[in-house]
Structure 1
Amino acid sequence: MPHSPPLPPVPEAIPIVTPLNLILFSLVIYVGYLRFRTPATPIISRPTPIVYRKYTPLTLLPYNGTDKPQVFLAVSCKVYDVTPGKGFYGPGGPYESFAGRDASRGLAKGSFDAEVLSDENGTIDTLEDLNEEEKVSLRGWEEHFGGKYAVVGELVENGEDGDEEEEGVSKA
């Protein structure tokens, strides 16, 4: 009988389920999950809208960043929401004495002293005694606030329409 050549050895079958394959498969599934999952929608809290209203010196006073979180100040009878600039106008800021007040005279004179602030129980300062340089300074501040902050109301005398209102809703 003729001698036949030996048959080549048959390679052993490599199992599909090995620890390495399981790790790689798990990694592919995890990366696919991260790639195709829908991202969580962030919940953005919106601030309470501020309604344009009339403020008196007494109703403006709580908007100083301490009593209420918002910071308002008045310049030439316009009330501005300066909350975005709370670092300047809020508690601890360089202009904190103007928060919740009529800041017109102090800004016109470039003074932070308490004696330039009008009395919240008195009448609104007419600013008639300002000199021309102070009037120009005040107009510059009006332009600054008008271009940077929202006007949220007007300043009226104590006892006028603003006293009985809270958050822009009349108590009729």
Structure 2
Amino acid sequence: MAFDLGTPVNTALLLYILYSIQRIIFPSNSVPQSVPNEFKNGYTWMPKSHPPTLLYQTYTPKTLEPFNGKEGKRILLAIKGVVYDVTAGRNFYGPEGMYANFAGRDASRGMAKQSFDEEMLTPIDQPLDKLEDLTAEEIENMKGWMEHFSSKYIVCGKLVENDAV
């Protein structure tokens, strides 16, 4: 099959190829005459302030308890020893949210049993709940919650016994 310049498509294609090669070999060195509009007043996409920096820390039930979201503070909760920063979900975990009793606490048993009751929480001055009496289905519930939290919130620490730190 021969290349025929007599057809308009082939002629247009040849001109486009020559133009593209010319642009690569001899690029334009001209400086724009004006500043683009989107940069005149600075960048509009920049955040107003940087979010607070989170350090991975070791928490005990006593040191985790102040992170309950009251007075606009950060909200942390733990599931099976993993501490999550759920501040972004303040509507759910904040003082007025439906999961508010889990804020600043170990929520393992409550998440496993799908219960918001206060008796699901281990008092902060007692040892961590070993969760030995959970059924296989409840353990799967808890693992599902951990996957959900890991994909949506920041893991910011681990929860250990009160005397372990």
TM-score, normalized by the shorter chain, greater than 0.5? yes
CA deviation profile, 1:36-92 (whole Å, cap 9, x unmatched): 992155672112201001000000001011056111000010000001111111111
Question: Which residue of structure 1 lines up, in the alignment, with residue 16 of structure 2?
Answer: none
Contact kept? 1:97, 1:114, Cα under 8 Å:
yes
RMSD: 1.8
Map 1:57-136; keep pairs closer than 5 Å: 57-66=61-70, 69-136=73-140
User: Aligned letter for 2:119?
Assistant: E
Pair 1:68–1:121, CA change in 2 (3 A): farther
CA 1:124–1:41: 2 relative to 1, 3 Å: same
The gaps in structure 2 that reach 5 residues or longer are 1-36
The list of structure 1 runs, each at least 4 consecutive aligned residues, that deviate by more than 6 angstroms after superposition, is: none
Residue 38 (structure 1) aligns with: 40
Match of 2:145 among 141, 145, 149: 141
Structure 2 length-normalised TM: 0.72
- Normalised to the residue count of structure 1, the TM-score between the two structures is 0.69
Please give the secondary structure, in 2, of the residue aligned with 1:45.
coil
Greater helix fraction, Structure 1 or Structure 2: 2
Identity, % of aligned positions: 48
What runs of 5+ residues in structure 1 fail to find an aligned partner? Answer: 1-34, 162-172
What is the aligned partner in structure 1 of residue 53 from structure 2? 49
How many residues are treated as equivalent by the alignment?
127
